[in-house]
Structure 1
């Protein structure tokens, strides 16, 4: 607490003033937390003075609150680029980050408990800088950091505002920002050191060295690249769900289980809060595990009123993770840097509403950088329609990634290729065929055909047996499941000491 309070005073966070009449004075509290290492050991203890931002009044003591959040597809894309170019990956942390943001509004807060000024016990804190808990604190901090990076010469990306790009002659640097956690990579180590000096002059900077643990993602380096893994997080989920001693299983879901969990005959699960907590954790885990994406999407649909059958489906995912705890997503040096993607849809597969499931996977070179499993918003009248909707979703993602690569100065030399296993959808992407059966489709989906006609996208057919996105849209046999997952470049990370 003393360390935190000293940081607040040193940063000139507030002025002690008499409380103005009719002002909104916020209360506050101390929050204590422990920060752990990837192996679960204690790194340090933290104390934070947090304002009760829920007491703020819109338009009175706060206005805009939006602050951009890093897209994990951007992180994966940047990791692949760094590995392919053999660039270093550097990690930074800024202490007391929110305290650096300057407030535009007049905000008043009570003096913190334990540190009340004995000469002015009735005074209040007129906040000059943002503080944790304020509605506008993330925005104020991001604006402050953005200005510091612009002063050095960085430019914010238009496709992902959490990405900053620096170019000077042959020097090229990229920085990813997630609140107070920063990742830097580039081709000039001397410029990186200059940047560190610039940031140290403005903030309390902690240089964490080589990227190893970021947003709960563990980074393991190999002779050919790196592996993203969430072993520590899987262990936490297994403990929370009571599955730490469960026997492992070879697949995360089965077709029979899909039918059962869609039934209304199963009794209600007696701990819906636990269900929601575990499913939320599984969703975060799927950021590095495309192999559980479909299963997690399925159980996520029942969080409002889970049944025993739904909980059984969750436990099966946990048993699968028990046996694959050391698996992670491999990034290795790629022989080419082209974008290509796979799209698939399972027609009317939801037994409840007969909506279809869309899935896609996008590769940059040989590295998987983006994937998705989602239920379609409208009921499709044919397999061609649902496959075309999935293809349109893939096209949107690929176009965004292509724009991002262009900003990074890594534009592909040829147009991306989209692979689809439905002939009708591929025909529809090239020509206005099947008019009577497709005219009801929303016009927005026909932008695929526009991009294809401009030769900026290529849509190709491939057999269903080679469709990698199958694993994202339906339960598969063990042999088919593991065959497709191997092409996602999921790799084993040896346990420490093994």
Structure 2
């Protein structure tokens, strides 16, 4: 960096300015901002969550206040409006902030609140995506992907310019935050980004056609829903005909609300459907344990033990029957931690 015009000292031409604040745009600026904000919150009796470093909690008796930080977008909430107002005032005294308002839009996610609950959707994001790709007038379809034929790596003619395909798939990945119904389709399309073909592009446009018919689909958080954790786990054994690697998926519910979901391809080939289902249950159990840790940081007590539902009898027996493990020695030991959680009554 060089001296700004008019600040060069003729007697000391090689001197430079000392920065008292990070300059916006430098690589170290976001971390410097986070450390400054974190120190302010810690000085005002907040504690940093162990499960999520962007979450800060302050508990005083029955009064709870939460601060969720994403760079310079911040959500402040709690169960006492006067305390929340004091936190906002302390922010205003320390930092330059915009006028705080009720949450309507956060990181591209539209939020609609009522006395009954909360709606989370990305309707505007979807409409902008359709307009950008000239699909706003596309004919809607009922499903994100067809059941047949299956997408393969070498199916179809390679695209001359793959930039639009990659741009669409990248946009769909962000859309998955509120649309678990497209998670598998996005996961499958993402595996083909290195060499997309015409068939892959048609499949990507089909997802856009599906979104054109469902732009207002959203996640609804009911205020009266019970606070319980339960998850559904499933796997698609050898579903990829190119390398026969399986895909596992799960969705975790807090009461009636889906709060976490994933569709992910395994790294190795599974030798049996029981093995791949067991691996899927283990991945789901890891996510459930993280959510339990997050709930603990939020001072939320779960009234019942979390439950994971699996549709494979062999995998269910494998979680509880140690004798059966003699047939499953090829499964990595780190997947057996789900059995220990069941025996310790944590699942």
The TM-score range, normalised by the shorter chain, is over 0.9
**Is 1:306 aligned with 2:202?**
no
1:375 to 1:119, Cα distance in 2 relative to 1, 3 A: closer
Question: What's 1:440 paired with?
Answer: 330
**Is 1:232 aligned with 2:124?**
yes
How far did 1:176 drift?
A: 0.4
Query: What are the Cα deviations for residues 430-449 of structure 1, in whole angstroms up to 9, with x where unaligned?
Result: 01244453111000000000
Whole-angstrom CA distance in 1 between matches of 2:8 and 2:35:
35
Question: What's 1:419 paired with?
Answer: 309
Question: What's 1:430 paired with?
Answer: 320
Question: What's 1:179 paired with?
Answer: 71
Identify the match of residue 261 of structure 2 among 355, 366, 371.
371
Whole-angstrom CA distance in 1 between matches of 2:240 and 2:302:
38
**Is 1:247 aligned with 2:136?**
no
Query: What are the Cα deviations for residues 449-473 of structure 1, in whole angstroms up to 9, with x where unaligned?
Result: 000001110xxxxxxxxxxxxxxxx
In 1, are the aligned partners of 2:153 and 2:192 still within 8 Å (CA)?
A: no
1:223 to 1:193, Cα distance in 2 relative to 1, 3 A: closer
**Which secondary structure state, in structure 1, belongs to the residue aligned with residue 322 of structure 2?**
coil
In 2, are the aligned partners of 1:334 and 1:367 still within 8 Å (CA)?
A: no
1:433 to 1:384, Cα distance in 2 relative to 1, 3 A: farther
How far did 1:118 drift?
A: 6.3
**Which secondary structure state, in structure 2, belongs to the residue aligned with residue 141 of structure 1?**
helix
In 1, are the aligned partners of 2:155 and 2:199 still within 8 Å (CA)?
A: no
Identify unmatched segments of 5+ residues in structure 2. none
How far did 1:413 drift?
A: 1.8
In 1, are the aligned partners of 2:88 and 2:100 still within 8 Å (CA)?
A: no
In 1, are the aligned partners of 2:3 and 2:16 still within 8 Å (CA)?
A: yes
Whole-angstrom CA distance in 1 between matches of 2:90 and 2:173:
37
**Which secondary structure state, in structure 1, belongs to the residue aligned with residue 240 of structure 2?**
coil
**Is 1:191 aligned with 2:75?**
no
What value does the CA root-mean-square deviation take over the aligned residues?
1.6
How far did 1:125 drift?
A: 3.5
Whole-angstrom CA distance in 2 between matches of 1:118 and 1:443:
64
Identify the match of residue 295 of structure 2 among 398, 405, 420.
405
**Which secondary structure state, in structure 2, belongs to the residue aligned with residue 256 of structure 1?**
coil
Identify unmatched segments of 5+ residues in structure 1. 1-108, 458-498
Identify the match of residue 284 of structure 2 among 384, 394, 414.
394
In 1, are the aligned partners of 2:252 and 2:258 still within 8 Å (CA)?
A: yes
Question: What's 1:217 paired with?
Answer: 109
**Is 1:276 aligned with 2:166?**
yes
Question: What's 1:70 paired with?
Answer: none
Identify the match of residue 167 of structure 1 among 35, 39, 59.
59
Q: Aligned residues, how many?
A: 344
Whole-angstrom CA distance in 2 between matches of 1:329 and 1:271:
35
Question: What's 2:210 paired with?
Answer: 320
Whole-angstrom CA distance in 1 between matches of 2:152 and 2:160:
18
In 2, are the aligned partners of 1:334 and 1:365 still within 8 Å (CA)?
A: no
Question: What's 2:341 paired with?
Answer: 451
Whole-angstrom CA distance in 2 between matches of 1:336 and 1:371:
19
In 1, are the aligned partners of 2:246 and 2:276 still within 8 Å (CA)?
A: yes
**Which secondary structure state, in structure 2, belongs to the residue aligned with residue 201 of structure 1?**
helix
**Which secondary structure state, in structure 1, belongs to the residue aligned with residue 98 of structure 2?**
strand
Instruction: Indicate the structure with greater strand content.
Output: 1
**Which secondary structure state, in structure 2, belongs to the residue aligned with residue 166 of structure 1?**
strand
